[in-house]
Amino acid sequence: MTIKLLLRHASTAILLLVSLVSAEAGQHRDVFIIAGQSNADGRTLKSELVGDLAIYAGKQDGVMVHYTNTVYTNTDKSKYGTWVTLEPGYSVSPSYSGALPSDTFGMEIGAARVLNEYYENPAFIKVSRGGTALGVPGTDWYPVKDSEDLVGPLYRALIDSTKDALEELEAAGDTYTVHGVFWHQGESDINERTDVYGDLLATLIKNVRSDLNMPNLRFIVGEVATVKPLAFRTVQWEAARSLPNTSFISSRGLGVMDQSHFNTQAMTIYGERVGYAFLPNREILDFEIPIYATGPLDRQDEFAATDGVDSSLQVVATSSQGEYVSGQAAGHKGATGGHYCTRRHLIPLKKASTMQADFFPGNVGFDNQADADSSLLIAGWGVDADSDGVFTEAETAIGFGVYHTANFRIQIGSQTYLSTETYQTDHWYRLTLSWTNPNQHGQRTVELYVRDLSAGIDLNEGNPVISILIDEDDFDGNPMHWSGMGFRATRGLVDNISIMPFGFSAWVKTLFPDLQGGANGDDDHDGLSNSLEYAFGLDPFFSNSPLELPQISFGVEYASLLVSPLATQPNIHYTLQWSRDLESWTTLAGAPSNEYITFTLNTIGETTLFFRQLVEF
């Protein structure tokens, strides 16, 4: 994206030219793709959606589905392969011969209830068929393209149906955003192809992205039921964790009605897990291309304590509490002690500006002790000093969390900073640690923000509960070179450990989560797009004057621009240029002067000059 700020010599008027287009026709659809075999299609009976499950039984207004299943042979095609309002019944077993909607349903019913709370018009493209494999050349989902004859018909159906569905939206005058693919398949490959499944899945994901011309399309891999062999489920998990912009959803705690298929309650719960995984607060970058894949913490039971004491982690299902709606969380069962836990694949901190985690201290249902003595430390590491693959407190560059005194804390090396705020037991909290680039003195501002998700309030009236200015040496290295992050917890539950890269999306999530207009919008109606306000460090909710943009000043023999350093937006490249004719442009060079960068141009003999600032990100 390039933003052009054009200023004309001999005039105080400022003309902003922004190369952003946001015209829309019809409605905007947020599209989610579901693909796979029978558990993706659904084998649970909609007649069982009664009692507490009756909320899933009806039509979901505003939600659309475009369903394809090659086993469907009924002559009534009025609701097949076209956009219709979602309700239970877009699932077809080989024995079904009636018209749609059928007597069974899939996970889109649960996912829709979650996504419909966030998006105005969610839409599902669903391509599925039971009993189908990924690894048999020439059949089903086989993705390898060494020979066109070997590509499976269901793989082709996935690509063709997705393209057709999106074209139908365009033909209706709608716009759309494709948020990703949920893939649930593998039961037909477990016995013979466990050793090659990971490579096949990687090929499928690569080819789908290529064939849809969506190189960064997100994939979420769903774990087969836990009654299936652990070795295969581990292959699924490892494949998901090793691929860019790909994550994994556990099936832990979900019941089955046979040896493969989720039962009615499990299918609705699993669908909701899918919906939560697609929400933006689960680290989907909706503006920049993701630098790396991020997502909610998963497979917590495979974390290991570093000192070998009380190494077991308990995975518990936690219920909705206020704004926090959890899947699973992890924590130590012991009432004392706490140990660093590391990921099998550490999240890189390169280009990060924020670390974040959700924490639940003193859960009575977890350890039967409600005293405020839980503790948590989420830490980033500068170096594994002893090269043992494990990080200790002595190797910690920076950390944040809660102290056993119930205070919130920042820890830098061995130095701990505590807040005056304290947590309440049995409340979920979201802790967000942010840091700036070094200023001209080599100092960074480090701030900890806390939100009580159970009460729905920001602590300290939305201001940081701790804000400190530290020297670069105190920061224990440059976060650009940190190698990973992890956590230690005592008695509490921790969930959704994540990091946030620099960029417009991170700026919105961290500082302006209520922003509605996106990059192209203008929430404060001051004539400056939200992305332009981001680029120049302005407040998108406060109407800004053009005087708050870079200003031009004139003299008898010169023209100059004074521009603030803007070091807080490191992913943006700023360039100043001048021209006589708006066609040929010359770049100006300048040097820092106090708090501004001054660019000066000799204007003797010039009658009209144009200046522009290019802002590229």
Residue 219 identity (one-letter amino acid) = F
For the residues of 518-557, what is the DSSP string, one character each? TTT--TT-SS--HHHHHHTT--TTSPPPGGGS-EEEE-SS
CA–CA gap between residue 382 and residue 478 (Å, rounded): 8
Instruction: Please check whether residue 521 is in contact with residue 416, taking contact to mean a CB–CB distance below 8 angstroms.
Output: no
Q: Which residue has the higher pLDDT, 371 or 190?
A: 190
Tell me the mean pLDDT in the region 186-198: 94
pLDDT > 70? residue 387: no
Measure the CA–CA gap between 296 and 327, rounded to whole angstroms. 9
Its pTM stands at 0.52
Q: What residue type is assigned to position 321 of the chain? A: Q
DSSP state of 150: G
CA angle 287, 208, 175 (to 5 degrees): 45
C-alpha 247/C-alpha 549 separation (Å) is 41
Give the Cα separation of 278 and 284 in Å (integer): 7
> Tell me: the pLDDT tens digits for 528-542?
888 878 877 777 888
Residue 220 in contact with residue 241, Cβ under 8 Å?
no
542-595 pLDDT, tens digit per residue, is 887 766 666 666 666 666 665 554 444 545 666 677 788 888 888 776 544 444
Q: Are 202 and 243 in contact (CB under 8 A)?
A: yes
Q: 102 has which bridge partners?
A: none
Phi, psi of 467 (to 5 degrees): -140, 120
Contacts with 115 (C-beta within 8 Å, 6 or more apart), sequence order: 30, 32, 63, 122, 275, 278, 279
- Residue 182 scores a pLDDT above 90: yes
- Rounded CA-CA distance 209/189 in Å is 22
- Degrees (nearest 5) of the Cα angle 401, 403, 406? 110
- Indicate the range of 256-265, 501-510, 588-597 predicted with least confidence: 588-597
> Is residue 177 within 8 Å of residue 32, measured between CB atoms?
no
| 82-112 tens-digit pLDDT | 999 999 999 999 999 999 999 999 999 999 9
Cα–Cα nearest to 141, from 194, 234, 70, 241: 70
**Structure-model confidence comparison of residues 477 and 614, the more confident one:** 614
What tens digit of pLDDT does each residue of 38-89 get? 999 999 999 999 998 999 999 998 999 999 999 999 999 999 999 999 999 9
8 A C-beta contact, residue 446 and residue 461: no
Residues 491 and 469 sit within 8 Å (Cβ to Cβ): no
> Which phi-psi region, left, alpha or beta, contains residue 10 (left: φ > 0; alpha: ψ -120 to 50)?
left
Per-residue pLDDT averaged across 595-613, rounded?
67
Averaged pLDDT of the chain: 76
Which tens digit of pLDDT belongs to each residue from 308-317?
Answer: 333 333 334 3
- CB within 8 A of 379, min separation 6: which ones? 340, 391, 393, 396, 397, 398, 399, 411, 485, 486, 487, 488
| Number of Cβ atoms within 10 Å of the Cβ of 139 | 16
